[in-house]
A and B are shown apart, each in its own frame.
Chain A
Amino acid sequence: MLAYIVRRLLWLPVLLIIVSFITFALGYYGPADPIVALMGQNYDPEVAAQLAHEYGLDQPFGVQYLKYLERVARLDFGESIKYRNQPVLRLLIPRLAVTIQLNVASSFIGVSVGIAVGVIAALRRGELIDRLVVFGVVFGRAVPVFVAGPILLFLFARTIPVLPPGGWDGIFSRSAVMPVLLLSIGPMAVFARQTRAGMLEVMGQDYIRTARAKGLHEMTVVTVHALRNALIPLLTILGFLLGSLVEGTFLTETIFGIPGIGQFAFEALGGRDYPVIITVTLLVAVAYALGNLWADLLYGVVDPRIRQA
């Protein structure tokens, strides 16, 4: 088991090199020029050339990339072009803290509510509550964040103004309610649907009949015997969840003006702030990789047949 974890972790740098190379190449050969974006209307070719030299942007691709890798190895992710002379890492860390809080809260709510709703729907198959859940799942999956966000804002900040329309006063403040809710809709829908499907399958299994034949209470049958089996396929999704949440964060943070890495990255994209873009991309890659590793490890915890192998 330990060897497996180590092996997986050793792959991580390889993955990061691939991701950074692609992102770096896209930035280098891409159409936009960060200097142009930085100077805007005050563009002056001479100053631009000087700035490009200052940032090392006039050197060939290979040189730039290797220099970059060398700095990254020392955990130096460069300086932001937009926020002049500020190290990316120093800009990123406080924002990352906000984003992590947001993601932890919304994934916790999304996953737990989703599983609970899915179990109830499966046990009440075909009844009104099940139909409502199925409808809600389709709705939750179909409506994108940039549509649901403004609707939430319209409802709870304008029509019934109970929540602030944006800003950030920490995860336990009223300003966090709407963004957390918005971000949890996606995972909630996915988990509700998968739990429902999983439970429907598992409840028809022979070992559920065995459990009932033992005289166990239906509650024990569902929670101890059925749910654990139904959760196994959900772990795969849990791995993806971490990565997909980061993506959802981009939009949510922008809509609500939350100072997290999502908003930061969004800004950086507009300003062609490549050091920031690449760093955030690497971060998302790490999140995906660790998320999947975590899910794989959880498989072993939940399913003894995998622990053995």
Chain B
Amino acid sequence: MTTVLEVRGLKTQFFTQDGVVQAVNGISYDLNEGETLGIVGESGCGKSVSVMSLMRLIPMPPGKIVGGEALFEGVDLMKISDDEMRSVRGNKIAMIFQDPMTSLNPVLTIGRQVGEALELHMGMSKSEARQRTIELLEMVGIPSAADRVDDYPHQFSGGMRQRVMIAMGLSCNPQILIADEPTTALDVTIQAQIVDLVKKLRDEIGMAIIWITHDLGVVAGLADRVAVMYAGFFVEEAGVKDLYGDPRHPYTIGLLGSLPRLDAERGRRLVSIEGLPPDLIALPEGCPFYARCNYRIDRCETENPPLRLVAPNHRVACWIDVTTAQPTR
């Protein structure tokens, strides 16, 4: 399986009046062709910033990508010129966003907004772009697309708008689709429709997907591999079955333990993780999860554990082996 994207030590910070916000702290991962990588974590853990950094869409200033590289088709996305980056965005790497109600421009027609990328990246004429836009809208399941192509965003429902966003994202047959919490703003039945649509399109088109969410349930049904993010770090990364069946990081265990399950024994109480994530302006020297961890040892307070392999394709950043509750060597 070929790797389409190699991210190494990506680090993004925001220089604010209150101090330097360490939003993403050196994350590394590979994305393989046709693979779906889920990135999960709670609000403010750096999920969105990490992918916005990939696209170089971080508002600069105050944001700054301070380190790392992202190799795509042999070039480092962090180093190429703005013009070269623009030819990648929306073309080879496309992105869909969280809130379909605000992510479409209210004063431009749907056709214009989808067609724009086609004209720009595929060199289509206005009428070709329009024709292709109608096909794309049909593909994402918008009824009577030929009539609706001249409608404006306010004439669409939230779910339909997210379908439009997906059509826009897929318009130039990207190799990678980055989905930044695309179902969070939608109600549950629409969420399921959107997830099913993306699955279907992934199987047809074969693009790789980075799917960001805080919803562990959505990822379980969609992703091949899942990375758990905490305070700007990847703390665990594994195949979806391993992660859910055999979580090795105390934070992942806590997250899964806080989910209600249909197959749980009656009367079992949901556990919650005590405390709050650390302040990203003043990150602790040691493990960022130290203060909330049930397994902590002295070493965790002073040394931040790197990701280490605990099983094939299963990496965890912890000084403890949670299966035995003993420190690793």
Known: A214-B90, A215-B89. A209 touches B104 (CB 8 A): no
* Interchain CB contact (< 8 A) of A210 among B105, B107, B121, B154: B105
* Complexed CA–CA distance, A229 and B105 (Å): 8
Interface string of A215-241 (1 = CB under 8 A from B): 111000000110011001000000000
Q: Is A214 a contact of B116 with CB atoms below 8 Å?
A: yes
User: Which B-chain residue is minimally distant from A205 (CB atoms)?
Assistant: B102
* Complexed CA–CA distance, A252 and B97 (Å): 53
Q: Is B107 a contact of A303 with CB atoms below 8 Å?
A: yes
Interface string of A295-309 (1 = CB under 8 A from B): 000000011110010
Q: Does A213 contact B (CB under 8 A)?
A: yes
Q: Is B104 a contact of A207 with CB atoms below 8 Å?
A: yes
Interface residues on B, range: 20 to 34
Q: Does B141 contact A (CB under 8 A)?
A: no
Q: Is A213 a contact of B106 with CB atoms below 8 Å?
A: no
Q: Is B88 a contact of A206 with CB atoms below 8 Å?
A: no
Q: How far is the CB of B289 from chain A (nearest CB, A)?
A: 31
* Complexed CA–CA distance, A205 and B104 (Å): 10
Interface residues on A, range: 20 to 34
Tell me the dominant secondary structure on chain A's binding face: helix
Contact partners of A305 in chain B: CB under 8 A: 106, 152, 154
* Interchain CB contact (< 8 A) of A209 among B97, B117, B155: B97
Q: Is B107 a contact of A215 with CB atoms below 8 Å?
A: no
Known: A225-B105, A229-B106. A215 touches B154 (CB 8 A): no
Q: Does A212 contact B (CB under 8 A)?
A: yes
Q: Is A206 a contact of B99 with CB atoms below 8 Å?
A: yes
* Complexed CA–CA distance, A224 and B112 (Å): 11
User: Which B-chain residue is minimally distant from A232 (CB atoms)?
Assistant: B107
Contact partners of B106 in chain A: CB under 8 A: 207, 229, 303-305
Known: A209-B57, A215-B90, A216-B120. A302 touches B168 (CB 8 A): no
Q: How far is the CB of A224 from chain B (nearest CB, A)?
A: 7
**A-binding residues in B (CB < 8 A):** 55, 57, 86-91, 94-95, 97, 99, 102-109, 113, 116-117, 120-121, 152, 154-155, 165, 168
Please list 9 pairs of residues, one from A and one from B, whose beta carbons are closer than 8 Å in the complex, sorted by A's number.
Answer: A207-B102, A209-B57, A211-B105, A215-B121, A216-B86, A225-B108, A305-B106, A305-B152, A305-B154
**B-binding residues in A (CB < 8 A):** 205-207, 209-217, 224-225, 228-229, 232, 302-305, 308
